[in-house]
């Protein structure tokens, strides 16, 4: 009788229902919450990488010595400063550890009216990535329509330049790559050069102590 009484009380007991429901439902709620947090983090990272590309292109369009007498010269140190600034701005994204930045100067081939080519190109970052549009010098044979998506290419005007920036970045998960896989973020940005610029070359400020050139065959970050 005592055993039957205990079984009857267990059958009608409801005091543990909430605990059981929580035990069953909590893992699902946690998984959904973590998935949402990871998606939110991915969206924010997309936005930050896009903003970095715009910042680099904008700064690249503004650099140059201030002069009222001649076209503005740009220097290797100017390019390095832009990249260093992007490194600081990227913060915990560690842009140059997990990604790569390519800066190209799109111009018109001298002695032609509108033939587009990549006059110079500078790169920084440890990720194995090269420009989608080719290396420095691409287009001298007339093969380059411009830079950008097919049918929407940007092109430089004669005696002017367009700074075109490409970034490829391997997303670093907030929680785990289980939720979003291993996405790679790619973005571009472009700005016309703002002032009359000396387009002949990128200069060195000192011939005896030249600044480092951010060459595109070097894959490094900031130490």
**How would you write 6-72 as a 3-class SS string?**
HHHHHHHCCCCHHHHHHHHHHHHHHHHHHHHHHHHHHHHHHHHHHHHHHHHHHHHHHCCCCCCCCCE
Shortest CA distance to 137 belongs to which of 120, 156, 151?
120
Tell me: the pLDDT tens digits for 90-140? 999 999 999 999 999 999 999 999 999 999 999 999 999 999 999 999 999
Structure tokens at 172: 């670093």
Confidence check: pLDDT of 164 > 70: yes
pTM above 0.75, yes or no: yes
Tell me: the pLDDT tens digits for 195-221? 889 999 999 999 999 999 999 999 999
Question: With pLDDT > 90 as the criterion, what percentage of the chain qualifies?
Answer: 70
């Amino acid at each position: 009788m005592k055993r039957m009484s205990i079984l009857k009380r267990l059958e009608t007991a409801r005091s543990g229902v909430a605990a059981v429901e929580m035990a069953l439902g909590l893992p699902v709620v946690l998984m959904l919450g973590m998935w949402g947090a990871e998606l939110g983090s991915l969206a924010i990272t997309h936005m930050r990488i896009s903003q970095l590309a715009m910042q680099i292109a904008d700064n690249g369009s503004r650099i140059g010595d201030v002069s009222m007498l001649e076209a503005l010269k740009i220097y290797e140190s100017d390019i390095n400063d832009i990249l260093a600034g992007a490194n600081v701005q990227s913060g915990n994204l560690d842009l140059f550890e997990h990604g790569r930045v390519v800066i190209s100067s799109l111009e018109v081939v001298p002695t032609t009216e509108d033939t587009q080519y990549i006059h110079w190109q500078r790169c920084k970052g440890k990720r194995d990535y090269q420009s989608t549009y080719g290396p420095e010098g691409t287009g001298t044979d007339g093969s380059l329509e411009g830079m950008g998506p097919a049918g929407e290419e940007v092109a430089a005007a004669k005696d002017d330049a367009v700074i075109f920036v490409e970034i490829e970045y391997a997303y670093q998960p907030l929680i785990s790559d289980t939720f979003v896989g291993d996405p790679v973020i790619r973005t571009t940005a472009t700005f016309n050069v703002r002032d009359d610029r000396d387009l002949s070359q990128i200069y060195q400020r000192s011939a005896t102590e030249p600044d480092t050139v951010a060459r595109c065959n070097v894959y490094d970050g900031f130490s």
